[in-house]
Structures are given as C-alpha cells and as structure tokens.
Amino acid sequence: MSELVILLLVVPLAGAVVAGLGAYLPRRSERGPGLAGVVGLVSLAACLALLIPLAPWGLAGREPLVYPVGGWGEPVGIALYLDALAWTSSLVGLLVAFCALLFAVAEGKHVPRFYFFFLLLVLGMEGVILTGDLFNLFVFLQILSIASYILIAGGERRQALLASFRYLVISSVGIGFFLLGIFLFYKSTGTLSLRLMAGAGGSFRTLELAVVCLAVGAGVKTAFVPFHTWLPDAHASAPHPVSAVLSGVMIKVSFLVLWRLVSLFGAGDLRHVLLWVGGLTAVFGVIAAIAQTDTKRLLAYHSVSQMGYIVAAFGAGTAAALGASLYHLVNHSLFKSLLFLSVGAVIRATGERDIGRLKGIGGLAGRLPGVFALFLVGTLSIAGLPPFNGYVSKGLIASGLQGRAAAYLLILAAGAGTVASFLKLSGIFLARKPAASRGRTAAALRPPPPAMLAAMILLAVPCLATGLFPRVVGGALARVARADPAVGGIAGPVPGGLYSPMHLAELAATLAVGIGLYLLATRTRLGDRLLAFLRGRRAGLSTALGLLVAGFVVLAVLTWRL
Amino acid sequence: MAPYLILALFLLGIWGLVRKDNLIKKVIALNIVNSALIVLFVYMGSLSGSTAPILVERLHPGEGLRRLADIVDPLPQALMLTDIVIGICLTALALTLAARIYRRFGTLDIRRLEKAAAQDDGAPPPASPEGGSRPDDGQSGE
Amino acid sequence: MKDSELVDIVSRKLVPFILLFGCYLISHGHLSPGGGFQGGAVLAAGITLLCLSRGVKDTLRTFPMRRVSLSESAAFLMILAMGVIGLVLGRRFLGNFLPLGEPGQVPSAGFIFFLNLLIGLKVGTGISLVMFTLLREDE
C-alpha cells in the first residue's frame, strides 16, 4: 500500500520522459504533440486514480503513511509522508493540473517539450507535498520552479521572456534564503528530517532566524507583499493553461511549505506578523487589480490578493481560522484556474486581451455562452456570493478573524475590492455589440472546442459542490487543520451557521461597497486618473530585489522583537 | 573569520543583482550568491573533522573507530553537489533566456527592457513618458 | 577559437585522457571521491574543450546531437527502471537488489555502481547538450 506513495512521484516523471520522447518522432508528424498530450493526461489520470486507495489517510486522525525511499530509514534516508494535508493538496493540485492539461491539449498548439515540462511541474508539486526531508523539499521546490520558468517563457508575447527572467532571478534569491534557513536548521538540530527535527532541541534564536529565512523563501514563491512583484508579469504572460496551474497550484504548494514549517516550530510571533502581511497583501492586491486593463494581469493581481486572505487566516492561528485558510486554499485553486482558463478561451476566441478592446467587440455573452457561464461560476465564487464556494470560505475566514478587528476590516475591504474589480472584468462579456458592428469581427471568433469546455466544467462543478456542502467539506478540512500539532482546541462548527445575519450583513456590505467602488473607479475622472497612475507604477527588477531584502530584514526584526 | 567572508560574498552577490543593469551581470551575481551558500555549507561540514568520510577496513587498516571521530560531515557535501547541479541548470536557463531576450528586444539593459515591455502592454512606461508613438490605450478603465 | 593550431593539437591529444579520467571518476565513485555527477561533469568538460578548439560543427560530427540527446533520455529512463525494479522485486523504490560484494573492490556496494554509470552518462550528455546549444555559431 505504501508503494502507491512513491508511484505518485514515479508516474508523472515517467510520463514526462515518455511525453518528451514525442519530440523524436519525425518532424512532419502531426501525432507528436497530440500523443505527448495524451500521455500527459493519462499520467495525471493515473495519479488521481492512485489517490483513491490512499483516501483513508486523507481523513485526519490516522498516522501518516511513511515510505522510506530505497529502504533506508530515517535519519539516514529520505522518507515520504502522506498525511491528510498532503492527500488533500495532492487531490486539488492534480485535479487543477489535469484540467489545465486538457485545456492545453484542446488548444493543440503545444510541442511535446511543453508536456514534458508540464509533467515535471506536477512532479515538483507532488514532491514538495509528499517529502519528509528538508533538503529534498528544497530540491523539489527547485524542480517545480525551473519547470515553471521554462513554461512561462513559452508564452506568445516577448514579454514572457522578460517575465520569466525576472521571475527566475527573484525566485532564485528567495530560494537562496530558503537554503540559508536549511543551513541554520541543520546547524541547530543536526538532522534534516522534518519529523525528527520537531523533537530535537536547538538554540531558540537560531531556530527563529531559520524559520524567518524559510518563510522568506516560501514567501517569494507564495507572492505575498513585499515578495509579490514577479507574479503579475509571470502569470499574465504565460500560456493560458500554465497561468491556471501557476495560480492554482504552485503558489498554493509554496504556501503549504510555509504552513508545515511554521506549524512544526510553532513560531508564534511569525504567525502574528503573517496575519498583518496577509491583510495588507489582500488589500494591496485588490487595489492594483482594479487598476489593470489587461485581463490576465487583473486576474494575476487577484491571485496575490487571495493568497493574502489565506495567509492572514493562517496567521490568526486558531483552529477555526486554520480550517478556513485551508478551505479558501482549495477553493481558490478551483475558481482561479477556472477563471484563467475561461479568460484564456476568450482571448483565444477573439485575439484580444485588453478589457477595453474586448468591450469594443461586444456581445460576447451571447456568442460564447458556454465560456460565459463558466466564467460566471468563477466570478461569483471569487466575489463570494452564495451558493458558490467563495462565500463559504470567505465567511469562514471572516469568522476566524473575529477577534482581530484590524485584520477583519482589511479582509472585508479586500472583499469589496474584489467585487469591484470583477464587475470591471465581467464587462468584457456584458458589453453590447456596437450598433455599427464591423462585419469582419463577427466572423473572427474562434469558438472553444468541446474539450476546452469540458476542462472548465470539471473545475466549475467542484466550485459549486464545495459551496453547497460546506459542512462536509469544512468539517473534513477543519480536521485536517486540527492535525496540525501547533494548534490547540477543537474547530467548532461555524458560529451561527453560514447564513447567519452576521454573514449576510457582511455579504450585503461587501456588495454595496464593491459596487460603489466600481462606479467610483470607472465612471469618474478622479477614478480614471488614479487608476492610470496605479497602472503605471511598475516595479523594476532592481526594486523587486530591494524589496525582497528589505522584506527579509523587516520580517526578521519583527519576529525577534515581538 | 570565515563566516564573515562568506556573508560578505553573499551580500556582494545581492548587491550585484540589484545594482547592475546588464542581464548577464545579473546572472553572474546570482552565481556568486549561490556559490556563497555552497561554500557556507561545505565550510560548516568541515568544522567537524578533517579527513575524508570513507570507512573501509581494507583501505585504512586498523584505524576504524579513530577515523570515525575525525571525518568531515558528509551530509553537507552531498547536499551541495545537488545544489551545484541545480545552479548549473539555472545558469544555463538564465543565459538562454538572456540570449533570446536579446534577439527579441535588441538590448540587454534591464531598464530599457522594462520600458519596452511596459510599452508593449500599452501602459505608460515606468520612467517619464517618451515622445513618439505609444499604442492607444484609450479604453482605460471603462 | 578555431584558428589556433596549438590549441587544436593539444586539445586533440588531451581530450581522450580527459574522457578516460571522467570514466574513472564515475566508476570509482563508491570507493573514492567522485561519482556520477562529478565524472559526468568531467566528460562534458572534455567535450566542451573539443567544441572550443574545433568548433561546434566539427564536434557534432563525432558526437551527433540526436544521438547524444537520445542517450540522455535513455539513461534517464534506465535510472527510473532501476528504481522500479527495486519496487517490483519487493524492496522499496531505489532499493538495492544486487549483491553487495567485497568492500573496496570496484564491483561492490550493490547497484550504486550502475546508478553512478547511468548518472554519469546522463550528466555528461546533458551538460554537453547545453554547451552545444550555447556555443553554436550559426544562429
């Protein structure tokens, strides 16, 4: 049974190599790319199937399944752990990757190398989730990152190359800090195994600094402020399925690294700092998002903002908040990737990415009804409307933050901003066709092939499902979070239920402020100028790195002082 | 003494990354950062002993346990081997990206590159707006 | 690069020894400092020296791109296969399934020896490919 765990790593790897071999088929052959894509899909489907017999370990309460690679027990060898957190994140990650891959196959224009790196990305993700050794974590994190650099560079526009380079540099420096953290951990505890480390002693100061270094590394990849600068360019310039996987999986997995490490060492002060960081990130991301005119950049800034929610809830530290954080993590993977894929379908159909120009084409709701419906599911989820999953997780996060007024307000403000910016984005569908419509634009639409729609439906259904059954899902996730050793107390049921007056009031307030913000931002001259100003402020690479270092210093100082 | 030198190397690399505008110089600086970390690990491993961590009775007859106390810590070395490999991959990738960027943009200067990218996106460039043609982004915000 | 006769002649004499040294490092990895990656890097260094002195086009005649690329993938698949054989034979993935032999001899320590060989091949070919791509002049 435990062999299945290692297969979760071997299958994507083997699939990657076999898919990559498609490159050696004769050049003229049309089969190469298609075959590679099918190999990829089969591998991912196999991995998902592997998760089924492993499901018992997915429900918290069992001892994690340990698999010593090569038969060498710890501390000499490296072991893989499958606990509830790992199972849940594998499930969501593989689902998102599968749908994105389906979308890519439907697009039909990717070379076998693309599928090779895509599967390598999945391998990296699985490795980070499953490993029990700190340095192995580093290695898999690097594999994940390198695959993503290459995939991003495959975007169509030339900015993709620059975005990939910037991301490479920033991420490498971040992972350098991660390595520094590993050094400090090894020096003070003498072992690299995550399980054994928790028991070992070690100088407290050094351990705290180590956790801060690791937090910086994980933070760069999770993209909370001030480490977020690489994300908008990278996610916006990448090919559509890659954007979906990046936003839906990669930043989540990096956050899970943070989760595991901070939980293991109970660095309470760091959690407190993260609470603030999360709140600020959520608001900042949303403000930047409203200002954008490029559809994918808007979505990318939203990824930053939503990760802020997740980080803030994690920072709150109570059992309820942790469960909420995990819930939102799952939900965001689902609806953000759905959004990226649907917007990708629109861009592919029309050839335009700019909101203004898409509105100029007009009438898209009628001409791309399937895409519109799926986009609507994603939008309603992220904006937090019932009965979709966003409502549940945002409500849970708000409850979890009840005790901390400032963070609570920040999160609510971010919620309003989310509503506003998605009203702006939805404009691309809702605009009417201009009366004097140019005849040629009517013919220029490329409707999405059914496989593409299927991929998006596969993501949309869980969005609805996790929203309709909050008790089941929420209960399961709360138990997963409770397994976290640093958390005391039981995660009780949601106070007053999810549709309590409190929550409905929050919803109404968010909607009202959101609509107001939207009107303010888009229909007034002041709004226009403010937005243009915000849009023009782009961080250069040097600034980004400076922010990274400054962020590290600030985090270290704050954690040590508090 | 040695840890301070290593710290200096690390900071030097970061300084180079931030202040140098040429992409290739940034790649070199990244390498310096990586090298500093590698040296740090290897140095730490060397603190615990001074002989190679190989324990074979036939090769070193009679020394057995005495050697055990004196060996260098083998773990950091193994870790750093992996790290060097990763560093090579990253450098190769970064250089290839730089070469492609040069071909598509015509320059390796990060400031001009970012300006060009911003113009491509239709937003006003990060520095003061230049004269000349800018793509029309009239539908801003609405 | 291609114009210096001295470099050309010296490198042509040296490269076989460099390749041999690389193979030595790979095969004695379990006995003395060295191993798969180190030996592979030396192999690649030898091939790079050839590229630098004779030009990539000439070197590609001795080490054709496609063959190098295929051997890299093949080596990787064989590493995976060795891991899976361990799995199939009842031990863990990458568990040893070959006899341990006498310490100090070259064929000993189970299948580490074969893993070293495969890794050395993969690394050598991999880095050579990187060098070929970066040093090409006809683009």
Q: Looking at residue B94, which CATH number applies to its domain?
A: 1.10.287.3510
In a domain, residue A29? The reply is no
Can you give the pTM of this predicted structure?
0.89
| pLDDT at res. A498 | 63
The total number of residues written for chain A in this structure: 562
B69 within 8 A of B57, measured Cβ to Cβ: no
Question: Strand, coil or helix: what is A76?
Answer: coil
Tokens of A313: 């809830």
CA–CA gap between residue C46 and residue C62 (Å, rounded): 13
Quickly state the pLDDT bin for A490 (edges 50, 70, 90).
Answer: very low
Q: Which residues of C touch A17 (CB under 8 A)?
A: 73, 76-77, 80
Which candidate, A164, A180, A162, places its Cα nearest to that of A216?
A180
**Nearest-CB residue to C91 (from A10, A14, A71):** A71
Return the residue in C92, C100, C115, C129 with the most chain A beta carbons within 10 A, the one to mutate for interface testing.
Answer: C92
State the pLDDT at residue B133: 37
Using a CB-CB cut-off of 8 Å, the residues of chain C touching A67 are: 92
Contact A168, B97 (CB under 8 A): yes
Average pLDDT over residues C64-79: 88
Q: Domain range holding B19? A: 2-55+63-120
Decide if A238 contacts A118 (C-beta within 8 A).
no
Q: How many CA atoms lie within 13 A of A548 on its CB side?
A: 35
Q: Which residues fall within 8 angstroms of residue A107, CB to CB, at 6 or more apart?
A: A240, A241, A348, A452
pLDDT value at residue B125: 43
The nearest alpha carbon in chain A to B105 belongs to: A158
Task: Report the residue from A10, A13, A71 with minimal CB separation from C95.
Answer: A71
The C-alpha atoms of residue A16 and residue A110 are separated, in whole angstroms, by 14
**CA of A520 vs chain B CAs: smallest distance (Å):** 11
* CA A24 – CA A288 distance, rounded (Å): 45
User: A2-6, A558-562, B68-72: which has the highest mean pLDDT?
Assistant: A2-6
pLDDT > 80? residue A43: yes
pLDDT tens, position by position, A391-429 = 777 777 777 777 777 777 888 888 888 888 887 888 777
Selected residue of A358, A542, A549, A552 to mutate for chain B interface (largest B Cβ count, 10 A)? A542
Phi/psi of residue A267, each to 5°? -75, 85
Would the pLDDT of B135 be above 60? Answer: no
Split at pLDDT 50, 70, 90, the class of A510 is confident
Q: Which of C37, C72, C112, C139 to mutate to test the interface with B (most CBs of B within 10 A)?
A: C37
Quick one: closest CA in B to C109, which residue? B56
Write down the pLDDT at residue A261.
82
pLDDT of residue A487: 52
Q: Do C80 and A10 touch (CB under 8 A)?
A: yes
Amino acid (one-letter) located at A242? V
The answer on pLDDT for A148 being more than 90 is yes
Q: Chains contacting C with at least 3 CB pairs below 8 Å?
A: A, B
Confidence of residue B128 (pLDDT cuts 50, 70, 90): very low
Q: Is C70 on the interface with A (CB under 8 A)?
A: yes
Task: Provide the pLDDT for residue B129.
Answer: 37
Instruction: Decide if B81 and C123 are in contact by the 8 Å CB cutoff.
Output: no
Q: What is the largest CA-CA distance in chain B?
A: 84
The CA distance from B47 to the nearest CA of chain A, in Å, is 11
pLDDT > 70 in chain A, percent: 85
pLDDT digits over A292-339, tens only?
888 888 899 989 988 988 888 888 777 778 888 888 888 888 889 888
Per-residue model confidence (pLDDT) at position B131: 36
Q: Of the ranges A55-69, A107-121, A464-478, which is most confident? A: A107-121
Rounded to a whole number, what is the distance in Å from the CA of B79 to chain A's nearest CA? 7
Chain B residues with CB inside 8 Å of C123's CB? Answer: 85
Selection from A349, A345, A328 nearest residue A457 by Cα: A345
- How close does chain C come to B92, measured CA to CA in Å? 7
Q: Average pLDDT of A214-243?
A: 87
Cβ atoms of A455 and A341 closer than 8 Å = yes
Task: Give the contacts of A21 (CB within 8 A, at least 6 positions apart).
Answer: A112, C73
Indicate the residue of A13, A69, A70 with minimum beta-carbon distance to C80: A13
| Inside any domain, residue B68 | yes
B40, B97, B140: residue with CB nearest A356:
B140
CB atoms A186 and B90 under 8 Å? no
* CB pairs < 8 Å spanning B and C: 24
Mean pLDDT (whole number) for C104-123: 81
Higher-scoring residue by pLDDT: A122, B65: A122
Tell me if A309 is assigned to some domain: yes
Select the residue from C76, C130, C139 to test the B interface by mutation, using most B Cβ atoms within 10 A: C130
Cβ separation A70–C80 shorter than 8 A = no
Confidence of residue C20 (pLDDT cuts 50, 70, 90): very high
Domain boundaries, given as residue ranges, for chain C? 5-135
Residue B66 distance to chain C (closest CA, Å):
19
Q: Among B47, B113, B120, pick the best mutation site for testing chain A contact (most A Cβ within 10 A).
A: B113
Give a yes or no: residue B138 inside a domain: no
Q: What is the mean pLDDT of chain A?
A: 79
Q: Is residue B10 part of a domain?
A: yes
Long-range contact pairs involving A58-63 (C-beta distance under 8 Å, separation at least 24): A58/A84, A58/A87, A58/A88, A58/A91, A59/A84, A59/A476, A59/A479, A60/A84, A60/A476, A60/A479, A60/A480, A60/A482, A60/A483, A61/A479, A61/A483
pLDDT at A119: 92
Count of structural domains within chain B: 1
* Predicted pLDDT at C19: 93
Residue type, B6: I
Residue C21 has pLDDT above 60, yes or no: yes
Q: Inter-axis angle of helices A470-482 and A319-350, to 10 degrees?
A: 120
The confidence score (pLDDT) of residue A122 equals 93
The answer to whether A135 and B79 are in contact (CB under 8 A) is yes
Characterize the bridge pairing of strands A79-82 and A65-68. antiparallel
CB atoms under 10 Å from CB of A188, counted, come to: 18
Q: Which of residues 10-49 of A touch C (CB under 8 A)?
A: 10, 13-14, 17, 20-21, 24
Is it true that the peptide bond before B53 is cis, omega within 30 degrees of 0?
Answer: no
Q: Count of A–B CB contacts within 8 Å?
A: 141
In a domain, B134, yes or no: no
The verdict on a CB contact (< 8 Å) between B52 and C33 is yes
* Chain A CB contacts of C95 below 8 Å: 70-71
Amino acid A181 reads G
pLDDT digits (tens, 9 = 90+) for B66-116: 666 677 777 888 889 889 989 998 999 999 999 889 988 888 888 888 888
Model pLDDT for residues B26-70, shown as the tens digit of each residue: 999 999 999 999 999 888 888 777 766 666 555 566 666 666 667
Q: What is the pLDDT of residue B130?
A: 37
Nearest CA in chain B to A290: B141
**Closest alpha carbon within chain A to B128:** A536
DSSP labels, A140-173: HHHHHHHHHHHHHHTSSSTHHHHHHHHHHHHHHH
Question: What is the 3-state composition of chain B as percent helix, strand, coil, each rounded to the nearest 5?
Answer: 65, 5, 30
In chain A, how many domains are there?
Answer: 1
Write out pLDDT tens, residues A59-109.
Answer: 666 677 777 777 776 667 788 888 888 888 898 999 999 989 988 888 877
Is the pLDDT higher at B69 or at A551?
A551
What is the domain range of residue A467?
Answer: 267-431+443-523
